[in-house]
Amino acid sequence: MRLPCPCCGDRDIREFTYRGAALARPGEGAGIDRWDDYLHLRDNPAGAVRDLWYHGGGCGAWLVVERDTVTHAVDGARLAAEGL
């Protein structure tokens, strides 16, 4: 598997660490249900997903990767710093 790092180009999967779905962190004062959702509840879709990967073996950038869990196609990756 390979991911297209916006800084480094196409790189082997072993340079990256997977984190999970790209979710927005609840703001200060958010209710406990909102936090429970953010911390524990995940969809497990067959199809398009958007998740976070860390290019720790490369540039150190956090990426939002769009890919498909059925076809394994990777549609693209961009810097998470530009927004989820």
3-state secondary structure the chain: CEEEECCCEEEEHHHCEEEEECCCCCCCCCCHHHHHHHHHCCCCCCCEEEEEEECCCCCCCEEEEEEECCCCCEEEEEEHHHCC
Asked if residue 48 binds other proteins (CB under 8 A), the reply is no
Asked if residue 39 binds other proteins (CB under 8 A), the reply is yes
Asked if residue 17 binds other proteins (CB under 8 A), the reply is yes
Residues that bind other proteins (CB under 8 A): 1-2, 10, 12, 17, 19, 25-28, 30, 32, 35, 38-39, 52, 54, 56, 60-62, 71-74, 79-84
